[in-house]
Amino acid sequence: MKNEQNLKERAIEGTVWKFAEKIGMQLISIVIQIVLARLLLPEDYGVVGLLSIFISISDVFILQGFTTALIQKSEADELDYSSVFFANLAMSIIIYVVFYMIAPSVAKFYKTPQLTEVMRVMSINIVVGAFSAVHNAIVSKNLEFRISFMRNIANIVSQGIVGIGMACANFGVWSLVGSKIVGTLVGTMVLCITVKWRPQCIFSFQRIKFLFRYSSKVLCTNLLNTIFNNMHSLIIGRFFSATDVGYYQRGQQIPQAAMIAVDGSMCEVLYPTLSLLQNDLDKLKKALRRSMKTSMYLILPMLMGLAVTARQMTILLLTEKWLPSVPFMQLTCAITAFWPLSARTHALNAIGRSDVTLKLSIISKILTLVMILISVPMGIYAIMWGTLLASGISFWITSHYANKYLGYSLKELIHDIGSPIALSCGMGIFVILIGKIEIGLAMGLFMQILGGIIFYVGLSEILKLEQYEYLKNLILNILHKN
Protein backbone atom coordinates (compact mmCIF):
# COMPACT_ATOMS: atom_id res chain seq x y z
CA MET A 1 0.00 0.00 0.00
CA LYS A 2 2.86 2.31 0.90
CA ASN A 3 4.61 1.57 -2.41
CA GLU A 4 1.37 2.26 -4.29
CA GLN A 5 0.98 5.62 -2.54
CA ASN A 6 4.62 6.44 -3.23
CA LEU A 7 4.17 5.62 -6.92
CA LYS A 8 1.05 7.81 -7.04
CA GLU A 9 2.89 10.73 -5.46
CA ARG A 10 5.85 10.30 -7.83
CA ALA A 11 3.51 10.14 -10.81
CA ILE A 12 1.67 13.29 -9.71
CA GLU A 13 4.94 15.11 -9.03
CA GLY A 14 6.28 13.97 -12.39
CA THR A 15 3.12 15.16 -14.14
CA VAL A 16 3.35 18.56 -12.43
CA TRP A 17 6.97 18.97 -13.55
CA LYS A 18 6.18 17.74 -17.05
CA PHE A 19 3.18 20.05 -17.25
CA ALA A 20 5.30 23.00 -16.09
CA GLU A 21 7.97 22.04 -18.60
CA LYS A 22 5.60 21.69 -21.53
CA ILE A 23 3.58 24.80 -20.68
CA GLY A 24 6.77 26.82 -20.20
CA MET A 25 8.32 25.45 -23.38
CA GLN A 26 5.27 25.97 -25.53
CA LEU A 27 4.57 29.48 -24.24
CA ILE A 28 8.16 30.51 -24.92
CA SER A 29 8.08 28.69 -28.26
CA ILE A 30 4.86 30.42 -29.33
CA VAL A 31 6.31 33.85 -28.50
CA ILE A 32 9.48 33.01 -30.44
CA GLN A 33 7.51 31.65 -33.40
CA ILE A 34 5.31 34.74 -33.50
CA VAL A 35 8.41 36.96 -33.72
CA LEU A 36 10.04 34.71 -36.33
CA ALA A 37 6.83 34.48 -38.37
CA ARG A 38 6.82 38.25 -38.64
CA LEU A 39 10.47 38.30 -39.74
CA LEU A 40 10.51 35.30 -42.08
CA LEU A 41 8.46 34.23 -45.09
CA PRO A 42 6.16 31.18 -45.39
CA GLU A 43 8.58 29.61 -47.89
CA ASP A 44 11.41 29.77 -45.31
CA TYR A 45 9.34 27.58 -43.00
CA GLY A 46 8.37 25.45 -45.97
CA VAL A 47 11.98 24.57 -46.83
CA VAL A 48 12.65 23.34 -43.28
CA GLY A 49 9.23 21.68 -43.18
CA LEU A 50 10.11 19.58 -46.22
CA LEU A 51 12.85 17.93 -44.14
CA SER A 52 10.69 17.26 -41.08
CA ILE A 53 10.04 13.65 -42.04
CA PHE A 54 13.77 12.84 -42.26
CA ILE A 55 14.67 14.52 -38.95
CA SER A 56 11.69 12.91 -37.21
CA ILE A 57 12.64 9.45 -38.49
CA SER A 58 16.15 9.86 -37.13
CA ASP A 59 14.73 10.90 -33.74
CA VAL A 60 12.70 7.68 -33.61
CA PHE A 61 15.84 5.56 -34.02
CA ILE A 62 17.99 7.56 -31.61
CA LEU A 63 15.56 8.82 -28.97
CA GLN A 64 12.82 6.16 -29.05
CA GLY A 65 14.65 3.00 -30.13
CA PHE A 66 16.43 1.09 -27.39
CA THR A 67 15.56 3.74 -24.79
CA THR A 68 11.94 2.55 -24.55
CA ALA A 69 13.24 -0.92 -23.69
CA LEU A 70 15.49 0.57 -20.99
CA ILE A 71 12.45 2.23 -19.41
CA GLN A 72 10.38 -0.95 -19.60
CA LYS A 73 13.12 -3.27 -18.29
CA SER A 74 12.72 -3.28 -14.49
CA GLU A 75 16.32 -4.38 -13.71
CA ALA A 76 18.40 -2.56 -16.30
CA ASP A 77 22.06 -2.34 -15.24
CA GLU A 78 25.22 -0.49 -16.26
CA LEU A 79 25.93 -2.90 -19.11
CA ASP A 80 22.49 -2.21 -20.58
CA TYR A 81 22.90 1.56 -20.37
CA SER A 82 26.43 1.67 -21.80
CA SER A 83 25.59 -0.77 -24.59
CA VAL A 84 22.62 1.34 -25.66
CA PHE A 85 24.72 4.52 -25.50
CA PHE A 86 27.33 3.21 -27.93
CA ALA A 87 24.73 1.55 -30.16
CA ASN A 88 22.83 4.86 -30.41
CA LEU A 89 26.00 6.80 -31.17
CA ALA A 90 27.02 4.40 -33.95
CA MET A 91 23.49 4.46 -35.37
CA SER A 92 23.42 8.28 -35.38
CA ILE A 93 26.66 8.46 -37.37
CA ILE A 94 25.37 5.94 -39.92
CA ILE A 95 22.10 7.88 -40.31
CA TYR A 96 23.99 11.16 -40.73
CA VAL A 97 26.16 9.68 -43.49
CA VAL A 98 23.08 8.31 -45.27
CA PHE A 99 21.27 11.66 -45.05
CA TYR A 100 24.38 13.50 -46.26
CA MET A 101 24.57 11.26 -49.32
CA ILE A 102 20.88 11.36 -50.25
CA ALA A 103 20.52 15.14 -49.75
CA PRO A 104 20.89 15.97 -53.49
CA SER A 105 18.23 13.38 -54.37
CA VAL A 106 15.86 14.83 -51.77
CA ALA A 107 16.40 18.32 -53.18
CA LYS A 108 15.70 17.01 -56.67
CA PHE A 109 12.54 15.21 -55.49
CA TYR A 110 11.14 18.42 -54.01
CA LYS A 111 12.54 20.57 -56.86
CA THR A 112 14.23 22.79 -54.26
CA PRO A 113 18.04 23.00 -54.81
CA GLN A 114 18.62 24.79 -51.51
CA LEU A 115 17.56 21.63 -49.64
CA THR A 116 20.90 19.91 -50.29
CA GLU A 117 22.94 22.11 -47.98
CA VAL A 118 20.09 22.66 -45.52
CA MET A 119 19.62 18.92 -45.04
CA ARG A 120 23.34 18.25 -44.63
CA VAL A 121 23.68 20.92 -41.96
CA MET A 122 20.45 20.12 -40.09
CA SER A 123 21.38 16.43 -39.90
CA ILE A 124 24.17 17.34 -37.46
CA ASN A 125 21.39 17.38 -34.86
CA ILE A 126 21.14 13.60 -35.14
CA VAL A 127 24.63 12.96 -33.80
CA VAL A 128 24.37 15.66 -31.12
CA GLY A 129 21.09 14.26 -29.81
CA ALA A 130 22.49 10.72 -29.56
CA PHE A 131 24.82 11.75 -26.72
CA SER A 132 21.91 12.38 -24.34
CA ALA A 133 19.42 9.68 -25.39
CA VAL A 134 20.30 7.34 -22.49
CA HIS A 135 20.35 10.24 -20.03
CA ASN A 136 16.82 11.08 -21.17
CA ALA A 137 15.74 7.46 -20.63
CA ILE A 138 17.13 7.55 -17.07
CA VAL A 139 15.15 10.72 -16.36
CA SER A 140 11.93 9.12 -17.63
CA LYS A 141 12.54 5.80 -15.87
CA ASN A 142 13.09 7.50 -12.52
CA LEU A 143 10.31 10.06 -13.06
CA GLU A 144 12.86 12.85 -12.47
CA PHE A 145 11.15 15.34 -14.73
CA ARG A 146 12.59 18.39 -12.97
CA ILE A 147 15.79 17.67 -14.91
CA SER A 148 13.86 17.35 -18.16
CA PHE A 149 12.22 20.68 -17.37
CA MET A 150 15.60 22.42 -17.10
CA ARG A 151 16.93 20.77 -20.28
CA ASN A 152 13.99 21.69 -22.47
CA ILE A 153 13.65 25.25 -21.22
CA ALA A 154 17.37 25.80 -21.93
CA ASN A 155 16.82 24.25 -25.37
CA ILE A 156 13.93 26.48 -26.39
CA VAL A 157 15.41 29.70 -24.96
CA SER A 158 18.71 29.19 -26.79
CA GLN A 159 16.78 28.39 -29.98
CA GLY A 160 14.88 31.64 -29.65
CA ILE A 161 17.94 33.79 -29.05
CA VAL A 162 19.84 32.36 -32.03
CA GLY A 163 16.82 32.18 -34.36
CA ILE A 164 15.63 35.73 -33.78
CA GLY A 165 19.17 37.08 -33.91
CA MET A 166 19.89 35.39 -37.24
CA ALA A 167 16.48 36.40 -38.66
CA CYS A 168 17.15 40.04 -37.79
CA ALA A 169 20.48 39.69 -39.63
CA ASN A 170 18.56 38.47 -42.73
CA PHE A 171 19.80 34.87 -42.72
CA GLY A 172 16.38 33.66 -43.87
CA VAL A 173 15.90 29.88 -43.71
CA TRP A 174 19.31 29.47 -42.03
CA SER A 175 17.84 31.23 -38.98
CA LEU A 176 15.65 28.17 -38.42
CA VAL A 177 18.48 25.73 -39.11
CA GLY A 178 20.94 27.46 -36.80
CA SER A 179 18.42 27.78 -33.98
CA LYS A 180 17.60 24.06 -34.05
CA ILE A 181 21.25 22.99 -33.93
CA VAL A 182 22.13 25.34 -31.08
CA GLY A 183 18.99 24.34 -29.16
CA THR A 184 19.82 20.64 -29.40
CA LEU A 185 23.43 21.25 -28.38
CA VAL A 186 22.48 23.30 -25.31
CA GLY A 187 19.78 20.80 -24.28
CA THR A 188 22.22 17.90 -24.59
CA MET A 189 24.82 19.70 -22.49
CA VAL A 190 22.31 20.48 -19.73
CA LEU A 191 21.09 16.88 -19.60
CA CYS A 192 24.60 15.40 -19.56
CA ILE A 193 25.61 17.75 -16.73
CA THR A 194 22.54 17.25 -14.53
CA VAL A 195 22.24 13.45 -14.90
CA LYS A 196 25.16 11.90 -13.02
CA TRP A 197 25.48 8.89 -15.31
CA ARG A 198 28.46 8.37 -17.58
CA PRO A 199 28.95 5.55 -20.11
CA GLN A 200 31.52 2.90 -19.26
CA CYS A 201 33.83 1.29 -21.82
CA ILE A 202 31.70 -1.86 -21.93
CA PHE A 203 29.40 -3.24 -24.61
CA SER A 204 27.30 -6.37 -25.05
CA PHE A 205 25.73 -7.52 -28.29
CA GLN A 206 23.67 -9.97 -26.25
CA ARG A 207 22.11 -7.16 -24.20
CA ILE A 208 21.40 -5.14 -27.35
CA LYS A 209 19.82 -8.23 -28.91
CA PHE A 210 17.67 -8.80 -25.81
CA LEU A 211 16.53 -5.17 -25.67
CA PHE A 212 15.84 -5.21 -29.39
CA ARG A 213 13.28 -8.01 -28.96
CA TYR A 214 11.03 -5.57 -27.13
CA SER A 215 12.08 -2.28 -28.68
CA SER A 216 11.83 -3.53 -32.26
CA LYS A 217 8.03 -3.62 -32.11
CA VAL A 218 7.80 -0.27 -30.35
CA LEU A 219 10.37 1.12 -32.79
CA CYS A 220 8.37 -0.07 -35.78
CA THR A 221 5.19 1.40 -34.29
CA ASN A 222 6.83 4.77 -33.62
CA LEU A 223 8.52 4.72 -37.01
CA LEU A 224 5.22 4.14 -38.78
CA ASN A 225 3.59 6.86 -36.67
CA THR A 226 6.37 9.30 -37.51
CA ILE A 227 6.36 8.58 -41.24
CA PHE A 228 2.64 8.97 -41.52
CA ASN A 229 2.45 11.97 -39.19
CA ASN A 230 4.84 13.69 -41.59
CA MET A 231 3.22 12.26 -44.70
CA HIS A 232 1.25 15.45 -45.20
CA SER A 233 4.40 17.56 -45.47
CA LEU A 234 5.92 14.98 -47.82
CA ILE A 235 2.91 14.90 -50.14
CA ILE A 236 2.14 18.62 -49.94
CA GLY A 237 5.80 19.38 -50.63
CA ARG A 238 5.83 17.05 -53.65
CA PHE A 239 2.55 18.09 -55.27
CA PHE A 240 2.25 21.65 -54.01
CA SER A 241 4.71 24.47 -53.21
CA ALA A 242 7.11 25.12 -50.33
CA THR A 243 4.88 28.08 -49.42
CA ASP A 244 1.94 25.68 -48.99
CA VAL A 245 4.11 23.57 -46.69
CA GLY A 246 4.86 26.74 -44.72
CA TYR A 247 1.15 27.48 -44.28
CA TYR A 248 0.52 23.86 -43.30
CA GLN A 249 3.34 23.89 -40.73
CA ARG A 250 2.19 27.21 -39.29
CA GLY A 251 -1.41 26.02 -39.02
CA GLN A 252 -0.26 23.00 -37.05
CA GLN A 253 2.00 24.90 -34.67
CA ILE A 254 -0.39 26.33 -32.08
CA PRO A 255 -2.79 23.33 -31.76
CA GLN A 256 0.13 20.92 -31.52
CA ALA A 257 1.86 23.18 -28.99
CA ALA A 258 -1.24 22.99 -26.79
CA MET A 259 -1.35 19.21 -27.17
CA ILE A 260 2.32 18.78 -26.35
CA ALA A 261 1.95 20.98 -23.29
CA VAL A 262 -0.95 19.04 -21.77
CA ASP A 263 -1.27 15.59 -23.33
CA GLY A 264 2.46 15.24 -24.02
CA SER A 265 3.37 15.91 -20.40
CA MET A 266 0.85 13.35 -19.16
CA CYS A 267 1.85 10.65 -21.66
CA GLU A 268 5.56 10.94 -20.84
CA VAL A 269 4.73 10.20 -17.20
CA LEU A 270 1.97 7.72 -18.05
CA TYR A 271 4.09 5.10 -19.85
CA PRO A 272 6.72 4.57 -17.11
CA THR A 273 3.96 4.71 -14.48
CA LEU A 274 1.84 2.09 -16.26
CA SER A 275 4.96 -0.06 -16.75
CA LEU A 276 5.33 -0.22 -12.97
CA LEU A 277 1.70 -1.41 -12.74
CA GLN A 278 1.95 -3.97 -15.53
CA ASN A 279 1.31 -6.90 -13.17
CA ASP A 280 -1.90 -5.44 -11.71
CA LEU A 281 -4.41 -4.91 -14.52
CA ASP A 282 -7.08 -3.36 -12.27
CA LYS A 283 -4.76 -0.65 -10.99
CA LEU A 284 -3.37 -0.09 -14.49
CA LYS A 285 -6.87 0.38 -15.90
CA LYS A 286 -7.77 2.77 -13.07
CA ALA A 287 -4.66 4.87 -13.77
CA LEU A 288 -5.41 4.82 -17.51
CA ARG A 289 -9.00 6.00 -17.03
CA ARG A 290 -7.90 8.78 -14.73
CA SER A 291 -5.39 9.93 -17.33
CA MET A 292 -8.02 9.87 -20.10
CA LYS A 293 -10.55 11.84 -18.04
CA THR A 294 -8.04 14.47 -16.99
CA SER A 295 -6.32 14.98 -20.35
CA MET A 296 -9.56 15.24 -22.33
CA TYR A 297 -11.03 17.66 -19.79
CA LEU A 298 -8.03 19.96 -20.20
CA ILE A 299 -7.43 19.54 -23.92
CA LEU A 300 -10.87 19.69 -25.55
CA PRO A 301 -11.77 23.26 -24.49
CA MET A 302 -8.36 24.52 -25.64
CA LEU A 303 -8.75 22.91 -29.06
CA MET A 304 -12.32 24.16 -29.40
CA GLY A 305 -11.27 27.66 -28.41
CA LEU A 306 -8.40 27.65 -30.91
CA ALA A 307 -10.65 26.40 -33.71
CA VAL A 308 -13.33 29.07 -33.30
CA THR A 309 -10.86 31.96 -32.83
CA ALA A 310 -8.27 30.85 -35.41
CA ARG A 311 -8.85 33.69 -37.86
CA GLN A 312 -8.75 36.47 -35.26
CA MET A 313 -5.68 34.96 -33.57
CA THR A 314 -3.80 34.62 -36.86
CA ILE A 315 -4.43 38.21 -37.95
CA LEU A 316 -3.53 39.63 -34.55
CA LEU A 317 -0.41 37.57 -33.86
CA LEU A 318 0.99 36.64 -37.27
CA THR A 319 -0.46 39.28 -39.62
CA GLU A 320 -2.72 38.70 -42.62
CA LYS A 321 0.05 37.12 -44.73
CA TRP A 322 -0.56 33.91 -42.75
CA LEU A 323 -4.37 33.77 -43.25
CA PRO A 324 -4.16 30.73 -45.60
CA SER A 325 -2.94 28.77 -42.56
CA VAL A 326 -6.30 29.20 -40.73
CA PRO A 327 -8.09 26.15 -42.25
CA PHE A 328 -5.02 24.05 -41.43
CA MET A 329 -5.20 25.23 -37.82
CA GLN A 330 -8.90 24.42 -37.50
CA LEU A 331 -8.57 20.95 -39.03
CA THR A 332 -5.47 20.24 -36.92
CA CYS A 333 -7.55 21.03 -33.81
CA ALA A 334 -10.04 18.33 -34.83
CA ILE A 335 -7.35 15.77 -35.69
CA THR A 336 -5.29 16.29 -32.52
CA ALA A 337 -8.41 15.82 -30.38
CA PHE A 338 -7.85 12.10 -31.00
CA TRP A 339 -4.29 12.19 -29.63
CA PRO A 340 -5.10 11.68 -25.91
CA LEU A 341 -6.91 8.47 -26.84
CA SER A 342 -3.52 6.98 -27.74
CA ALA A 343 -3.00 6.53 -23.98
CA ARG A 344 -4.67 3.15 -24.51
CA THR A 345 -1.77 2.05 -26.71
CA HIS A 346 0.67 3.16 -23.98
CA ALA A 347 -1.19 0.82 -21.64
CA LEU A 348 -0.93 -2.04 -24.16
CA ASN A 349 2.82 -1.44 -24.43
CA ALA A 350 3.10 -1.39 -20.64
CA ILE A 351 1.61 -4.88 -20.32
CA GLY A 352 3.99 -6.17 -23.00
CA ARG A 353 1.55 -6.21 -25.93
CA SER A 354 3.68 -4.11 -28.23
CA ASP A 355 2.71 -6.55 -30.99
CA VAL A 356 -0.89 -5.34 -30.73
CA THR A 357 0.11 -1.67 -30.86
CA LEU A 358 2.21 -2.41 -33.94
CA LYS A 359 -0.79 -4.04 -35.61
CA LEU A 360 -3.00 -1.09 -34.69
CA SER A 361 -0.43 1.35 -36.00
CA ILE A 362 -0.17 -0.49 -39.34
CA ILE A 363 -3.97 -0.50 -39.74
CA SER A 364 -4.21 3.18 -38.83
CA LYS A 365 -1.47 4.21 -41.22
CA ILE A 366 -2.85 2.22 -44.12
CA LEU A 367 -6.19 3.95 -43.59
CA THR A 368 -4.48 7.33 -43.46
CA LEU A 369 -2.43 6.66 -46.60
CA VAL A 370 -5.52 5.55 -48.53
CA MET A 371 -7.40 8.67 -47.46
CA ILE A 372 -4.49 10.94 -48.40
CA LEU A 373 -4.10 9.38 -51.86
CA ILE A 374 -7.83 9.70 -52.49
CA SER A 375 -7.79 13.32 -51.28
CA VAL A 376 -4.76 14.68 -53.20
CA PRO A 377 -6.65 15.37 -56.48
CA MET A 378 -9.32 17.26 -54.50
CA GLY A 379 -6.92 19.86 -53.18
CA ILE A 380 -4.64 20.66 -50.27
CA TYR A 381 -7.34 21.04 -47.60
CA ALA A 382 -9.06 17.80 -48.64
CA ILE A 383 -5.94 15.93 -47.47
CA MET A 384 -6.62 17.14 -43.92
CA TRP A 385 -10.28 16.09 -44.10
CA GLY A 386 -9.21 12.63 -45.23
CA THR A 387 -6.82 12.38 -42.27
CA LEU A 388 -9.60 13.36 -39.88
CA LEU A 389 -11.86 10.62 -41.25
CA ALA A 390 -9.04 8.05 -40.92
CA SER A 391 -8.50 9.11 -37.29
CA GLY A 392 -12.17 8.47 -36.54
CA ILE A 393 -12.09 4.97 -38.04
CA SER A 394 -8.87 4.12 -36.17
CA PHE A 395 -10.50 5.21 -32.93
CA TRP A 396 -13.20 2.55 -33.26
CA ILE A 397 -10.68 -0.17 -34.13
CA THR A 398 -8.44 0.66 -31.16
CA SER A 399 -11.47 0.57 -28.86
CA HIS A 400 -11.98 -3.11 -29.71
CA TYR A 401 -8.43 -4.08 -28.68
CA ALA A 402 -8.51 -1.89 -25.57
CA ASN A 403 -11.59 -3.76 -24.44
CA LYS A 404 -10.08 -7.15 -25.30
CA TYR A 405 -6.72 -6.75 -23.51
CA LEU A 406 -7.37 -4.04 -20.91
CA GLY A 407 -11.06 -4.53 -20.17
CA TYR A 408 -11.60 -0.87 -21.08
CA SER A 409 -14.84 -0.85 -23.05
CA LEU A 410 -16.10 1.79 -25.46
CA LYS A 411 -19.02 2.43 -23.13
CA GLU A 412 -16.61 3.23 -20.29
CA LEU A 413 -14.56 5.48 -22.56
CA ILE A 414 -17.62 7.45 -23.67
CA HIS A 415 -18.61 7.81 -20.01
CA ASP A 416 -15.14 9.14 -19.20
CA ILE A 417 -14.94 11.72 -22.00
CA GLY A 418 -18.60 12.50 -22.76
CA SER A 419 -18.92 15.42 -20.34
CA PRO A 420 -15.83 17.33 -21.58
CA ILE A 421 -17.01 16.88 -25.19
CA ALA A 422 -20.49 18.28 -24.46
CA LEU A 423 -19.13 21.10 -22.31
CA SER A 424 -16.52 22.08 -24.94
CA CYS A 425 -19.13 22.19 -27.71
CA GLY A 426 -21.31 24.46 -25.58
CA MET A 427 -18.32 26.67 -24.85
CA GLY A 428 -17.46 26.85 -28.56
CA ILE A 429 -20.95 28.13 -29.43
CA PHE A 430 -20.73 30.71 -26.62
CA VAL A 431 -17.33 31.94 -27.84
CA ILE A 432 -18.62 32.28 -31.43
CA LEU A 433 -21.53 34.40 -30.18
CA ILE A 434 -19.14 36.69 -28.28
CA GLY A 435 -17.17 37.10 -31.51
CA LYS A 436 -20.24 38.66 -33.17
CA ILE A 437 -19.91 41.72 -30.92
CA GLU A 438 -18.23 44.66 -32.70
CA ILE A 439 -15.56 45.72 -30.18
CA GLY A 440 -12.30 45.57 -32.14
CA LEU A 441 -10.02 42.63 -32.98
CA ALA A 442 -7.76 42.57 -29.90
CA MET A 443 -10.49 43.29 -27.35
CA GLY A 444 -12.84 40.87 -29.10
CA LEU A 445 -10.29 38.03 -28.92
CA PHE A 446 -9.61 38.81 -25.26
CA MET A 447 -13.34 38.72 -24.46
CA GLN A 448 -13.75 35.43 -26.33
CA ILE A 449 -10.92 33.79 -24.39
CA LEU A 450 -12.12 35.15 -21.05
CA GLY A 451 -15.74 34.26 -21.80
CA GLY A 452 -14.79 30.72 -22.84
CA ILE A 453 -12.82 30.13 -19.61
CA ILE A 454 -15.65 31.48 -17.42
CA PHE A 455 -18.22 29.38 -19.28
CA TYR A 456 -16.21 26.13 -19.05
CA VAL A 457 -14.99 26.47 -15.46
CA GLY A 458 -18.27 27.94 -14.25
CA LEU A 459 -20.38 25.09 -15.64
CA SER A 460 -17.87 22.56 -14.30
CA GLU A 461 -18.31 24.06 -10.82
CA ILE A 462 -22.09 24.15 -11.07
CA LEU A 463 -22.31 20.57 -12.37
CA LYS A 464 -19.64 19.35 -9.91
CA LEU A 465 -17.91 17.57 -12.78
CA GLU A 466 -15.69 14.73 -11.56
CA GLN A 467 -12.66 15.77 -13.60
CA TYR A 468 -12.94 19.36 -12.40
CA GLU A 469 -13.23 18.32 -8.75
CA TYR A 470 -10.23 16.02 -9.09
CA LEU A 471 -8.04 18.72 -10.60
CA LYS A 472 -9.22 21.34 -8.11
CA ASN A 473 -8.42 19.09 -5.14
CA LEU A 474 -5.06 18.15 -6.67
CA ILE A 475 -4.07 21.80 -7.07
CA LEU A 476 -5.27 22.65 -3.56
CA ASN A 477 -3.25 19.75 -2.09
CA ILE A 478 -0.11 20.86 -3.93
CA LEU A 479 -0.57 24.44 -2.73
CA HIS A 480 -1.23 23.23 0.81
CA LYS A 481 2.01 21.20 0.84
CA ASN A 482 3.98 24.23 -0.31
Statement to judge: residues 480 and 377 lie in one domain: yes
Statement to judge: residues 304 and 168 lie in one domain: no
Q: Across residues 394-398, what is the average pLDDT?
A: 88
Statement to judge: residues 261 and 172 lie in one domain: no
In a domain, 32, yes or no: no
- Domain assignment of residue 45, given as a range: 40-229
Statement to judge: residues 208 and 322 lie in one domain: no
> Residue 8 above 60 pLDDT?
no
Q: What percent of the chain has pLDDT over 70?
A: 86
Which pLDDT does position 116 carry in this prediction?
Answer: 92
Which pLDDT does position 269 carry in this prediction?
Answer: 55
In a domain, 8, yes or no: no
Which pLDDT does position 30 carry in this prediction?
Answer: 77
Which pLDDT does position 280 carry in this prediction?
Answer: 64
Which pLDDT does position 310 carry in this prediction?
Answer: 92
In a domain, 244, yes or no: no
Statement to judge: residues 219 and 268 lie in one domain: no
> Residue 288 above 60 pLDDT?
yes
Which pLDDT tens digit goes with each residue over 128-155? 888 888 888 888 777 676 777 788 788 8
Boundary of a domain, candidates 175, 198, 229: 229
Q: In which band, very low, low, confident or very high, does the pLDDT at 267 lie, cut at 50, 70 and 90? A: low
Q: What is the 3-state secondary structure (H, E, C) of 325-359?
A: HHHHHHHHHHHHCCHHHHHHHHHHHHCCCHHHHHH
- Total H helices, total E strands in the chain: 23, 0
> Residue 478 above 70 pLDDT?
no
In a domain, 236, yes or no: no
Separation between Cα atoms, residue 252 and residue 256, nearest integer Å = 6
Which pLDDT does position 145 carry in this prediction?
Answer: 66
Statement to judge: residues 176 and 210 lie in one domain: yes
pTM for the complete prediction?
Answer: 0.67
In a domain, 174, yes or no: yes
Statement to judge: residues 215 and 283 lie in one domain: no
In a domain, 259, yes or no: yes
> Residue 305 above 90 pLDDT?
yes
Statement to judge: residues 331 and 473 lie in one domain: yes
Statement to judge: residues 219 and 331 lie in one domain: no
Boundary of a domain, candidates 229, 262, 290: 229
Boundary of a domain, candidates 197, 229, 261: 229
In a domain, 368, yes or no: yes
In a domain, 383, yes or no: yes
- Of 55 and 461, the structure prediction assigns the larger pLDDT to 461
Statement to judge: residues 144 and 268 lie in one domain: no
Statement to judge: residues 176 and 94 lie in one domain: yes
Contacts 24+ apart (CB under 8 A), 361-369: 361/220, 361/221, 361/224, 361/225, 362/224, 363/394, 363/397, 364/228, 364/390, 364/394, 364/397, 364/398, 365/224, 365/225, 365/227, 365/228, 367/393, 367/394, 368/228, 368/231, 368/394, 369/228, 369/231
- Of 293 and 14, the structure prediction assigns the larger pLDDT to 293
> Residue 270 above 70 pLDDT?
no
Statement to judge: residues 265 and 225 lie in one domain: no
Q: What φ, ψ does residue 352 adopt, rounded to 5°?
A: 90, 10
Which pLDDT does position 307 carry in this prediction?
Answer: 93
- Of 174 and 470, the structure prediction assigns the larger pLDDT to 174
Of 105-109, 191-195, 278-282, 440-444, least confident by mean pLDDT is 278-282
Which pLDDT does position 2 carry in this prediction?
Answer: 46
Which pLDDT tens digit goes with each residue over 84-107? 889 888 888 998 999 999 999 999
Which pLDDT tens digit goes with each residue over 34-52? 888 888 888 888 888 778 7
- The number of domains in the chain is 2
- The CA-based dihedral angle spanning residues 100, 104, 105, 110, taken in that order and rounded to the nearest 10 degrees: 120
Q: Across residues 252-265, what is the average pLDDT?
A: 73
